[in-house]
Structures are given as C-alpha cells and as structure tokens.
Structure 1
Amino acid sequence: MLKELLITGTDTEAGKTVLTTVLSAYWQKYYPQSRLGIMKPIQSGVGDREWYQNTFKLEQSPEEITPLYFQAPLAPPIAAAKENRPVDLAIVWQTLTKLRSQCDFLLIESLGGLGSPVTDELTVADLAGEWRLPTILVVPVKLGAISHTVANVALARQTRINLKGIVLNCTQPHSDAEIADLTPKDLIQSLTNIPVLGYLPYIDNLTDLDKLAQIASNLDLEKLS
C-alpha cells in the first residue's frame, strides 16, 4: 500500500470522514506495529479533528492533526477573513513534511471536495496536484453521482492529480438494485478510466472499529500499491 493517501470527495457530505475512519481502523487492526498518522490540514468549526483524537490512539498533537483551525464552519478563506487571519499554507506543508517522515502510513482528509476553495486563489485540487498527493475520490450513492464523478475526474486530470481510485459510499440505506442503478460500477469506470475500489455500505455506527476494518478489507486496496 502507498505511504500516504489523500481522501477527497465530490462534495462536503460525500463520506470522506467515513472512508478515512474505515481505512484507519483497517490499518491499526492489521498493521498494529506500524505508526498511523491522520491529518485534516484545515478545519473550519468543530468536527473531524476531535473525532480522530477520540477514536484512535495517535502519536500526534491536535496541531499535527489539524495545523490550521478556524472557528466558523465556512470555507477557509471566508472563515479566515472573519478572524482577520491568513490561510497560511506554509504551516500545513511543514506539518505534512514532518508527518511524512514520522509515519509509516498517513491518511489526509481534505476539506470539502476537489473544487472547494482553500485560499482566494487555490482549491483542494490545486494543492493535491502541486503537492503530488496520491488521492482517492469518495462519491456518494445518489442521483447525479455519475455526472459528479465524471466532472471531478476531469478536474483531477486538469490539475495533474494522481487519482488512484474511486470509492462509492452509501450515505443512507440502499438496496443492491438501487446502488446498481445510481452508481453502476462498470459505467463509471468506462467513463472515467479510473478503477472503482468498491462500495461502502451505509454505516450507522462508526465506533465499531473491528467491523470497520472488515468493511475496508472488502475494498480492492491492492490497487493502491
């Protein structure tokens, strides 16, 4: 498996935290002697940093999980302006570099989707491309998912992102027939030429780490090597 992986999505509720949690549970269960790192580079409002601190035993300070933290749950350039602060990406880069050297595997959960603004000039896609982060795209199972996936893959190619795969996430319970109709795996792969690593079922309890590790093992993680 890769040494680091950026988890991004087609939008803010795609399931990035779910996939990051599932992969973290898998890593800590099957590679207990290695050091896992989790990073949420920029966070606006309470949420993911607190979740990862409380759920996993990490050898990281809160500032190493989230180098930039803003109070208002808004896009970073807007939240930063309300606090009269800059979005200082140098701090994020320094922390990323440090964790890269210390961790055997680093999961990086992006804010929002690939098109989400990080600064007034840069999006998540720009950073993922410039920083050469191997990336997984999380796509929620819903009407419109196919077109959203195609558009995001096009953006990834435009910004030269190393897009390793797509994970389809059930944000609510769906039957197999509904999943096949809303997010047909073969069609998505044909349209994007990116492998679909599998589906995440609807998960109503993210605290059962053994179950989450089993769910992760059903994904085609060999394609991440």
Structure 2
Amino acid sequence: MQMKTYFVTGTDTEVGKTYCTVALTRALRAAGRTVSVLKPVASGCEAIDGVWQNDDARALRAAAENDQDYASVNPLALVPAIAPHIAAQEAGVELSVARLLQLTADTRQRRDDVLLIEGAGGFLVPLNDHESYADFVQALQVPVILVVGMRLGCINHALLTAEAIRARGLTLTGWIANSPQPEMNRYRENLASLQQQLPAPCLGTIAWLEPYPARQLVADRLTG
C-alpha cells in the first residue's frame, strides 16, 4: 500500500512548522501509524559528527523513531541560515524541482503509513529564479497542511496561502493554529474568523508553551 503523503507549509517563516510537524508525527504514532519524515531542503546547518545537519530535520527524525538516516530526512543541507535559494546560490548548489524530486525519491517510496514533508518558509518560497516550493508540491500532487502562525496579520496570510494552494489545483486538507508568541490580541476572534473563512477543517490548536516542552506534550496539545 502506498504511503499517504502530506506537505506541511506555513503562513510565513518562524510560525512553528517543525513544531507542528513533530506534533503530527507523535500523534500519528500514538494512533498506531508508522511515519516517515522529510525536509528536502534545510538551511542554517552545522557540522555534527562530520555531517551538515539542521535542528529542525533532527527534531523530525527523532519524532519519527524509525530507521531513517539523516540524509533520507534532509537530503540537501545548506549552511547559511537564509532563504534556501540564496543559500544554494552561495554554495554553488543546484536547487530545482527536478533535483528535489530526485533527492527525495527513495524516502517517498518507503512503506510507512504516512509521509510528512515539511517545506521551508512559506508556500511560495523560491527554489531558484523561476521555480518555487509550490512547484515541487504541484509536481507531487499531494494534499497540504497549513500551519497558521497566530499573530497580527495571520488571517490575510492564511487566506492568501489557501488561495495559492487552490490556484495550483491542490487540496488544503487542514490547518493548525499555532501560537509562536505568548499572547495575541483578540486571539479567539481571529481563530473564529479563520475557522469560518478557511476552506478546510482546523486540525488543532497549539498554545504557547515556554520553555520548549517535551515533544509528547506538544502532541498532546494538538487538540481540536
């Protein structure tokens, strides 16, 4: 049976995509599902045991608790903590839809129940001068899960992202309201507007938790 694949994107950078993907991974595993994880491109990497690694990709790998090695989770690791296409240009690395499809082929052919693919930044983050991450998702033809960072401007950002997903013939299968800051003015009113206007169900809400909690606690807070 083919793995059910989902692409996790965000309304912006630093909205908690990894936080939520870890929560989804833990929740799926608690429900008895096996999960593969994939972060095709990661910038801001550091050398660990002689291998360039990214903290987000490491968190995903730890949450999955499967037999994936680091390269199968994050096949393209870039050092500068900047937009992937700029980091790739500086490193002299090709970054394109075709390259990502090639680099992720083995992971996408695994036999787990679910594959969660985490993007970088927002849905339209560039890969190069003429392709974006959205083109990669369109090539895969997989449903999208949107992480909405609950802060000022989130309604506009969420609706624009949903429109971009729909414009490419893709399905927004659900969204998560994540709080990347301690407080948001009129949180409940903003959440209600999103629930009314986004064309997909809310998969859960994750409140601000500080300091960074145990990963299982994050999964437990992913509640509808």
Q: TM-score range by the shorter chain?
A: 0.7 to 0.9
Q: Residue 83 of structure 2: which of 65, 75, 89 is its match? A: 75
CA distance in structure 2 between the aligned counterparts of 1:134 and 1:41, rounded to whole angstroms? 17
Note the C-alpha offset of 1:76: 2.0
Q: Residue 132 of structure 1: which of 118, 121, 141 is its match? A: 141
Tell me which residue corresponds to 1:17.
Answer: 18
Corresponding letter in the other structure for 2:139: E
Tell me which residue corresponds to 2:52.
Answer: none
Corresponding letter in the other structure for 2:68: Q
CA distance in structure 1 between the aligned counterparts of 2:34 and 2:95, rounded to whole angstroms? 29
Note the C-alpha offset of 1:69: 1.4
Note the C-alpha offset of 1:119: 1.9
Corresponding letter in the other structure for 2:156: S
Corresponding letter in the other structure for 1:45: G
Instruction: Answer whether contact 1:21 1:206 (CA < 8 A) is retained.
Output: no
Change (3 A) 1:151 1:96: same
Cα-to-partner distance string for 1:174-225 (whole Å, 9 max, x where unaligned): 38x83213x233x224333222223111133555233233223x23xxxxxx
Corresponding letter in the other structure for 1:79: A
The TM-score normalised by the length of structure 1 is: 0.84
Note the C-alpha offset of 1:90: 3.7
Q: Residue 57 of structure 1: which of 39, 51, 65 is its match? A: 65
Note the C-alpha offset of 1:88: 4.8
Which runs of 5 or more residues in structure 2 are unaligned?
A: 46-54
Tell me which residue corresponds to 2:159.
Answer: 150
Tell me which residue corresponds to 1:5.
Answer: 6
Secondary structure at 1:115 match in 2: coil
Tell me which moved more, 162-171 or 96-105.
96-105
Instruction: Answer whether contact 1:9 1:113 (CA < 8 A) is retained.
Output: yes
Secondary structure at 2:108 match in 1: helix
Instruction: Answer whether contact 1:44 1:70 (CA < 8 A) is retained.
Output: yes
Change (3 A) 1:100 1:206: farther
Change (3 A) 1:100 1:54: closer
Tell me which residue corresponds to 1:92.
Answer: 100
What's the RMSD between the two structures over aligned residues? Answer: 2.2
Cα-to-partner distance string for 1:115-149 (whole Å, 9 max, x where unaligned): 21122211222222221121111111111111111
Note the C-alpha offset of 1:21: 0.8
CA distance in structure 2 between the aligned counterparts of 1:135 and 1:203, rounded to whole angstroms? 25
Tell me which moved more, 198-207 or 128-137.
198-207
Tell me which residue corresponds to 1:188.
Answer: 194
Note the C-alpha offset of 1:22: 0.5
Q: Residue 204 of structure 2: which of 195, 198, 204 is its match? A: 198
Note the C-alpha offset of 1:67: 1.3
Tell me which residue corresponds to 2:29.
Answer: 28
Which runs of 5 or more residues in structure 1 are unaligned?
A: 220-225
* Aligned residue pairs, count: 212
Instruction: Answer whether contact 1:136 1:164 (CA < 8 A) is retained.
Output: yes
Tell me which residue corresponds to 1:222.
Answer: none
2:115 maps to 1:116: no
CA distance in structure 2 between the aligned counterparts of 1:158 and 1:131, rounded to whole angstroms? 15
More helix by share: 1
Tell me which residue corresponds to 2:50.
Answer: none
Change (3 A) 1:60 1:90: farther
1:98-109 correspondence to structure 2 within 5 Å? 98-102=106-110, 103-109=112-118
Q: Residue 166 of structure 1: which of 166, 169, 175 is its match? A: 175
